[in-house]
């Protein structure tokens, strides 16, 4: 790795990306679905002469503009900063291969921001026909941003054989369209579009819940029920789209999912199992709450109930995205780059020449052997593990002595087909002395491990520290 490692104590760099991304997806997908909700609702109101609808929609469009234009844009920039620090190699690959796609997406994004502002500020100032046209322009631009981003996100799971055949040759850009329209592109697009539609209804329920049901019973009843209908298409179609998505997924990743699901019977819940169960339960609860509280009693549907539905939507979205991330294991870009930034094509070279020859940032103080071990830990382990909290090494290695830790590292280094770790962990790369240094460093993190007697400094071949 040619970069200083971004060390985020306790939660790890991955969760920084995750926390930002979860809220960003809740807003960005609402930006797409809500972009269709507003002009469709406005058209219905104009056809039926419902001025009361138009007044409510104007307030909803203001809320929509602030949430998507401010918080959505800021969180999107935050993701760029986070992924650039946490996964510089993967981010570089995405930029170099999809720079044309990113440029197009930014054009549509600027159209999206501009038309959202125009749509809100021109209520009652231009003709109804022109105002509605502005809404449709926004809807089209927002959908096209999803169309482009979806190709890049789906690529990270399934780059496709055509792109993988030229990866690392400098000819990747010539296979832009094969990488973009990768095997999971279409099912992923339909799945995300469904989520966008549902979130449009969920966020609209937040606005509708604030209508006084006693003063405006017909208005609240009609808008609450019309908004609730937006959740129906997704929940009917989602099982079929999910089956399509799984069918297009590589066999190795389906095995990872089935491994997690098979643990339900014995009661051993893996992370994949937990997130899938949480997603299913949260989605089912949304259906129940919306039906019993919103559809059957729209006049009594209050703000607290709407926030409860929104919170359940956040849980369903977060668990769904987390499951998608888990299914990429042990890769960050399927079959091309492992989750710690090591390219599959570089494993043999690292084992022969050493890992630390490409990782020049080591501690300038302390024992040089442990400094090397810490550099190995930061570069190859901390993308998924921390020392003491999230997937903590202190807990995972508890009770192991130095020999047991060395045996574990040997299994990860050999990376045999029957290794129990192969399905979800990348190989441990490096020369023998580097792996030994990692074992010495890990032993210092385990309270019950046997004391370590580091090798003499002269035998460590330390990497020169950088200022």
CA-based nearest residue to 106, from 75, 131, 86, 76: 76
**Total Cβ atoms within 10 A of residue 389:** 14
For residue 323, the model assigns a pLDDT of 87
The answer to whether 142 and 311 are in contact (CB under 8 A) is: no
Q: Is residue 7 included in any domain, yes or no?
A: no
406 and 292 part of one domain: no
The answer to whether 235 and 251 are in contact (CB under 8 A) is: no
pLDDT single digits (tens) 163-222? 999 998 989 988 999 999 999 999 999 999 999 999 999 999 999 999 999 999 999 999
The answer to whether 30 and 199 are in contact (CB under 8 A) is: yes
284 and 417 part of one domain: no
The answer to whether 22 and 77 are in contact (CB under 8 A) is: no
Q: Which of 290, 306, 338 is the last residue of a domain?
A: 338
Q: Is residue 110 included in any domain, yes or no?
A: yes
For residue 463, the model assigns a pLDDT of 42
User: What is the number of residues in the chain?
Assistant: 467
Q: Give me the number of domains the chain comprises.
A: 2
375 and 318 part of one domain: no
CA-based nearest residue to 90, from 24, 9, 23, 153: 153
149 and 268 part of one domain: yes
Cα(110)–Cα(99) distance, integer angstroms: 17
Could you tell me which residues come within 8 angstroms of residue 386 by beta carbon, excluding any fewer than 6 positions away? 8, 9, 10, 11, 12, 392, 393
For residue 2, the model assigns a pLDDT of 54
CA-based nearest residue to 91, from 337, 323, 330: 337
Q: Which of 309, 338, 367 is the last residue of a domain?
A: 338
> Which CATH number fits the domain that encloses residue 373?
1.10.760
Q: Which of 303, 338, 373 is the last residue of a domain?
A: 338
325 and 361 part of one domain: no
Domain of 418, in residue numbers:
353-460
pLDDT single digits (tens) 418-456? 998 988 899 999 999 999 999 999 999 987 555 555 555
Residue ranges of the chain with pLDDT lower than 70? 1-4, 259-270, 364-365, 448-467
Q: Is residue 2 included in any domain, yes or no?
A: no
334 and 358 part of one domain: no
For residue 5, the model assigns a pLDDT of 78
169 and 296 part of one domain: yes
The full 3-state SS of the chain, as one line of letters, equals CCCCCCCCCCCHHHHHHHHHHHHHHHHHHHHHHHHHHHHHHHHHHHHHCCHHHHHHHHHHHHHHHHHHHHHHHHHHHHHHHHHHHHCHHHHHHHHHHHHHHHHHHHHHHHHHHHHHHHHHHCCCCCCHHHHHHHHHHHHHHHHHHHHHHHHHHHHHHCCCHHHHHHCCCCCHHHHHHHHHCCCCHHHHHHHHHHHHHHHHHHHHHHHHCCCCCCCCHHHHHHHHHHHHHHHHHHHHHHHHHHHHHHHHCCHHHHHHHHHHHHCCCCCCCCHHHHHHHHHHHHHHHHHHHHHHHHHCCHHHCCHHHHHHHHHHHHHHHHHHHHHHHHCCCCEEECCCEECCCCEHHHHHHHHHHCCHHHCCCCCCCCCHHHHHHHHHHHHHCCCCCECCCCCEHHHHCCCCCHHHHHHHHHHHHHCCCCCCCCCCCCCCCCCHHHHHHHHHHHHHHCCCCCCCCCCCHHHHCCCCCCC
- Cα–Cα distance list, 360 to 171, 202, 357, 387 (Å): 28, 49, 7, 22
308 and 391 part of one domain: no
Could you tell me which residues come within 8 angstroms of residue 128 by beta carbon, excluding any fewer than 6 positions away? 46
The answer to whether 196 and 146 are in contact (CB under 8 A) is: yes
176 and 272 part of one domain: yes
Q: Is residue 175 included in any domain, yes or no?
A: yes
The answer to whether 442 and 377 are in contact (CB under 8 A) is: yes
- CA angle at 332 for the pair 361 and 316, rounded to the nearest 5°: 125
């Amino acid at each position: 790795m040619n970069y200083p490692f971004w060390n985020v104590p306790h939660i790890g760099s991955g969760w920084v990306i995750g926390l930002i991304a979860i809220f960003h997806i809740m807003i960005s997908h609402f930006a797409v679905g809500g972009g269709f909700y507003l002009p469709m609702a406005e058209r219905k109101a104009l056809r039926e002469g419902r001025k009361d609808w138009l007044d409510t929609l104007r307030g909803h469009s203001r809320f929509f503009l602030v949430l998507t234009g401010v918080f959505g844009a800021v969180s999107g920039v935050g993701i760029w900063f986070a992924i650039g620090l946490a996964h510089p190699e993967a981010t570089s690959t995405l930029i170099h291969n999809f720079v044309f796609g990113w440029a197009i997406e930014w054009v549509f994004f600027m159209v999206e921001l501009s038309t959202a502002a125009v749509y809100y500020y021109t209520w009652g100032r231009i003709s109804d026909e022109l105002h509605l046209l502005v809404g449709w322009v926004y809807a089209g631009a927002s959908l096209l941003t999803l169309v482009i981003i979806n190709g890049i996100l789906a690529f990270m799971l399934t780059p496709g054989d055509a792109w993988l055949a030229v990866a690392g040759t400098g000819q990747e850009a010539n296979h832009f369209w094969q990488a973009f329209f990768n095997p999971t592109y279409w099912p992923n697009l339909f799945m995300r579009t469904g989520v966008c539609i549902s979130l449009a209804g969920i966020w609209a329920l937040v606005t509708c819940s604030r209508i006084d049901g006693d003063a405006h019973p017909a208005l609240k009843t009609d808008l609450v029920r019309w908004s609730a209908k937006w959740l129906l298409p997704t929940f009917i179609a989602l099982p079929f789209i999910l089956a399509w998505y799984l069918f297009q997924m590589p066999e190795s990743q389906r095995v990872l999912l089935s491994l997690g699901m098979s643990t339900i019977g014995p009661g051993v819940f893996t992370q994949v199992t937990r997130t899938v169960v949480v997603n299913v339960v949260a989605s089912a609860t949304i259906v129940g709450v919306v039906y019993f509280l919103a559809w059957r009693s729209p006049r009594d549907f209050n703000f607290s109930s709407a926030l409860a539905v929104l919170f359940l939507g956040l849980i369903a979205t977060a668990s769904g995205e987390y499951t998608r991330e888990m299914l990429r294991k042990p890769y960050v870009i399927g079959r091309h780059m492992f989750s710690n930034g090591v390219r599959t094509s570089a494993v043999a070279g690292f084992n022969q020449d050493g890992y630390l020859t490409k990782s020049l940032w080591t501690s300038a103080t302390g024992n040089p052997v442990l400094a090397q071990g810490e550099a190995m830990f930061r570069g190859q382990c901390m993308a998924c593990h921390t020392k003491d909290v999230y997937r903590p090494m202190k807990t995972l290695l508890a009770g192991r002595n130095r020999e047991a830790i060395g045996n574990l590292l040997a299994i990860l280094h050999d990376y045999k087909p029957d290794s129990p770790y192969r399905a979800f962990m990348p190989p441990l790369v490096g020369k023998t002395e580097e792996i030994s240094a990692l074992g010495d460093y890990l032993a210092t993190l385990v309270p019950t491990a046997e004391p370590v007697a580091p090798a003499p400094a002269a035998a460590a071949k330390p990497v020169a520290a950088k200022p």
